[in-house]
A and B are shown apart, each in its own frame.
Chain A
C-alpha cells in the first residue's frame, strides 16, 4: 500500500476537465516538492510536472499542478483521448529517506 494516496481511477468526456489528487503527510508532500508522471499504455513513464506546478518543455498548458499542505493535485483540461494513461505522483520522504510514488490513477476519457 502506497504512502501517497491517489484515486485508482478517474474519467471524463473529451473536452472536459479532470483533477487527480495525491495525499501524503508532513514528512513528504508537506515539506518537499511533488512531481507527476504520465505512463501511456505500454510505454515508460514520462515526467509531466515537477516542483509542484512546473511543466517540462513540450508539456501543454492543459496540464497544471498545485500543492496545498500535505496534498497535491494534477489538473487536465480539454481532455483528449490521447490523455488516457496512468498518472503517478511522487516525492521524497524526509523522515524515511526514500522516494515514494502514489499508487497511480488510471484516466479514462469516455
Chain B
C-alpha cells in the first residue's frame, strides 16, 4: 500500500528555521516525482515545487523559489520541505503528494494528510 506520512504540526516564530518531512512507503521512492503544495487558511491549493529523488532534480514555482528548499533522502524514502527564515505569511497547511505519469500526463495520485505550520510571534 502506497503511503505518504507527514511530520506533525509545528509552531514557530518569525525568523526561525524549519524542516518538515514526508516519509513514503509501498512503492519505488526514486522512480516518482514528489511535490509539495501549500494551502493557506481558507484558500486554494498552490504548487510549490517537486523533486525527483533519484537525481535530486528539483523544479520550483517562481512564487516559492529562493524561500524554500525541497530535498530528499533516498536511504529513508523521505522528502523534505525547509525554510531558513520563516515569515508569518508561511502559516499554512503543507501537503506532499506523489506525481504519477509522464509530464504531459502528470497527476497527483497519492497525498499525505498535511502538516500544519503556524508562524507567530
Binding site for B on A (CB under 8 A): 2, 31-33, 35, 37, 39, 43-47, 50-51, 56, 86, 88, 90-92, 94, 97-104
Q: Which residues of B contact A45 (CB under 8 A)?
A: 45, 95, 97, 108, 111
Find out whether the CB atom of B104 lies under 8 angstroms from the CB atom of A99.
no
- Chain A, interface SS category: strand
Find out whether the CB atom of A88 lies under 8 angstroms from the CB atom of B108.
no
Find out whether the CB atom of B111 lies under 8 angstroms from the CB atom of A46.
yes
Q: Which of A50, A94, A100, A104 contacts B107 (CB 8 A)?
A: A50
Shortest distance from the beta carbon of A51 to any chain B beta carbon, whole Å: 6
Chain B residues touching A, range: 20 to 34
Instruction: Indicate if B26 sits at the interface (CB-CB under 8 A).
Output: no
Residue of B nearest to A93 (CB): B47
Q: Which residues of A contact B104 (CB under 8 A)?
A: 31-33, 92, 94
Find out whether the CB atom of A88 lies under 8 angstroms from the CB atom of B45.
yes
Residue of B nearest to A91 (CB): B106
Find out whether the CB atom of A44 lies under 8 angstroms from the CB atom of B111.
yes
Other CB < 8 Å A-B pairs besides A37-B108, A50-B101, 12 of them?
A: A32-B105, A33-B107, A37-B45, A45-B97, A50-B107, A50-B109, A51-B105, A92-B103, A92-B106, A97-B59, A99-B61, A99-B106
